[in-house]
Structure 1
Amino acid sequence: MKTAYVVGSIDVAEIALWAFFLFFVALVFWLRREDRREGYPLEDEINGFIESVGGPLSTALPKTFRLPFDRGTVSYPLPREEGREPVDIAAKRYENFPGAPYVPTGNPLVDGVGPASYANRAKWPDQDAHGRARIVPLSTEDHISVWKGGPDPRGMKVTAADGKVAGTVTDLWIDRAEHQVRYLQVETTGGKTVLAPMAMASVSTSGVSIDAINAADYDAVPQLASATEITRYEEERVIGYFGGGYLYANAGRQEPIL
């Protein structure tokens, strides 16, 4: 009768190899489950039908996050129908095949098509470490001022992409946390007060130039609900509106260079 050895043919190197293999397989499954908290389930590009979410190895369990400054909680992944982007948009596919470009059917800047698109972010202001609204008008902040060695945009005319005057800068919206100008407050020639992203503006002693949109487009810039705060959702709308102008403001921008 032969003597049986339970671990007689197993050494430390083999145990380490199998342990690494099992750990790596578990890690891959864990990562694939975690990356499905947003953007899933997928939907068909042609008809918009929601595809299968997959089995338990490809479906993440809900995880709840506590938001800062008593903003409540949020859980991901969301239920199957919640948080889904609308299928019907103000654009049509140029050709009926997956990957075909979309052509706007209305005003793409207002409808949020292409580069003018935006995310439905939280409808409260971004906050600094102290819980205060992070981006506010300079006129409401006593501890920040414009450097006297450079041009002050306030009072300057804003020249649009078509070379026409769109309005006058009446205030600056500054970032309390980083001490930067984020938006120019512009009173349009039509009498409306709108914000324009500072990152898209060119400021000199002769005035302010923003080549994103035309002068006539300023009156349709998304409005703010408050005169002293801007929510994250409103920031998305404003930046998306101006960003979309680099493609849709003029017909010539939509054509190929060559």
Structure 2
Amino acid sequence: MGNGAITSYIDVAQIALYIFWAFFAGLIYYLHRENKREGYPLENDRSGQVNVQGFPGVPDPKTFLLRDGRTVSVPNALREEYELAAEPGGAWMGSPLEPTGNPMLDGIGPGAWSMRADIPDTTAEGAPRIVPLRAAPGFGSSSKDPNPIGLPVIGADGVTGGTVVDLWVDQAEMLFRYLEVETVGEIGPRRVLLPINFAKIDSQRVRVRAILGGQFGLAPNTRNPDQVTLLEEDRIVAYYGGGTLYATPQRQEPLL
């Protein structure tokens, strides 16, 4: 046997298999640990005193440099500031939460939102990413599609909730994200954003099944009339998402 001919008495295939197993186990451990950078340690929803990490534990903090120059360190001890207007539906641990206020605004169930940064998202050039057409002169709607500006917005109950007055375009993705609706209601006229995913547009009207006509006026608003922040986007989408369950009492009941 010549020098270096170790394959004659060592099962190289088996050693390679063991190395792969060790690598794969390490990969699972690493990914599972990195998955705990946000949301951990878990907190007992009743006492607030039990911190649960599980195995493996929470990794050491890591600082990420964002494109706009900000830095974010995770994990961290930051907590969401808003309090849920809800209480447990039962006396046992883990019982579902029942809303006590307006669930479409209080961050309950499908109406929940995350405490994202209260700043606008930006394009690669640093400009606000989502703006109305009045602030984006280089964009417009296609002549082959119905133009919703001026059309009435109809809720799930068939009641008119407002009129579309503008479109908000994503300048990075080059598509429309929101319809700007001027509402009519008891609290007076105001302009709110309607996520275009919740709208069905035809040549005569805009239909929305998520909420009722009288609920458009309560939708979260933007601080700047020509910009929307990441936090405002989460709250706006959450409002219409919450309406899919909480817009009417009947939606909260079983089908059968």
Query: For this structure pair, what is the TM-score category when the shorter chain's length is used for normalisation?
Result: 0.7 to 0.9
CA distance in 1, matches of 2:83, 2:194: 29
- 1:115 aligned onto 2:106: no
Percentage of matched positions with identical amino acids: 41
Q: Aligned ranges for residues 120-131 of structure 1 at < 5 Å?
A: 120-131=115-126
Q: CA deviation at 1:251?
A: 1.0
Instruction: Give the match for residue 172 of structure 2.
Output: 177
Q: Which moved more, 1:94-103 or 1:227-236?
A: 94-103
Q: CA deviation at 1:135?
A: 0.7
**For each residue in 1:60-99, what CA deviation from the matched residue of structure 2 results, as whole angstroms up to 9, or x when unmatched?**
11111110022x11111113xx2x3469521111112234
CA distance in 2, matches of 1:192, 1:99: 40
1:162 to 157, 168, 172: 157
Q: Give ranges in structure 2 of 5+ residues lacking alignment.
A: 1-5
Q: Give ranges in structure 1 of 5+ residues lacking alignment.
A: 1-6
Q: CA deviation at 1:218?
A: 1.8
RMSD across aligned positions (CA):
2.3
Instruction: Give the match for residue 133 of structure 1.
Output: 128
CA contact (8 A) 1:43 1:51 kept: yes
Instruction: Give the match for residue 67 of structure 2.
Output: 68
CA contact (8 A) 2:40 2:58 kept: no
**For each residue in 1:193-239, what CA deviation from the matched residue of structure 2 results, as whole angstroms up to 9, or x when unmatched?**
11111111111111111121122222221111111110110000000
CA distance in 2, matches of 1:136, 1:196: 13
Instruction: Give the match for residue 226 of structure 1.
Output: 224
> Scaled by the length of structure 1, what TM-score is found?
0.86
CA contact (8 A) 2:199 2:206 kept: yes
CA distance in 2, matches of 1:208, 1:17: 60
Distance 1:18 1:247, change over 3 A: closer
Q: Aligned ranges for residues 11-30 of structure 1 at < 5 Å?
A: 11=10, 13=12, 16=16, 19-30=19-30
**For each residue in 1:3-38, what CA deviation from the matched residue of structure 2 results, as whole angstroms up to 9, or x when unmatched?**
xxxx9xx83636545544544443343233222211
> Scaled by the length of structure 2, what TM-score is found?
0.87
Instruction: Give the match for residue 3 of structure 2.
Output: none
**For each residue in 1:143-180, what CA deviation from the matched residue of structure 2 results, as whole angstroms up to 9, or x when unmatched?**
21111122211111111122111111111101112221
CA distance in 1, matches of 2:251, 2:242: 11
CA distance in 2, matches of 1:152, 1:28: 50
CA contact (8 A) 2:41 2:52 kept: yes
CA distance in 1, matches of 2:38, 2:222: 28
Q: Aligned ranges for residues 189-204 of structure 1 at < 5 Å?
A: 189=184, 190-204=188-202
Instruction: Give the match for residue 246 of structure 2.
Output: 248
Instruction: Give the match for residue 211 of structure 1.
Output: 209
Count of aligned pairs between the two proteins: 245
Q: CA deviation at 1:108?
A: 0.6
Instruction: Give the match for residue 4 of structure 1.
Output: none
Matched AA of 1:112: G
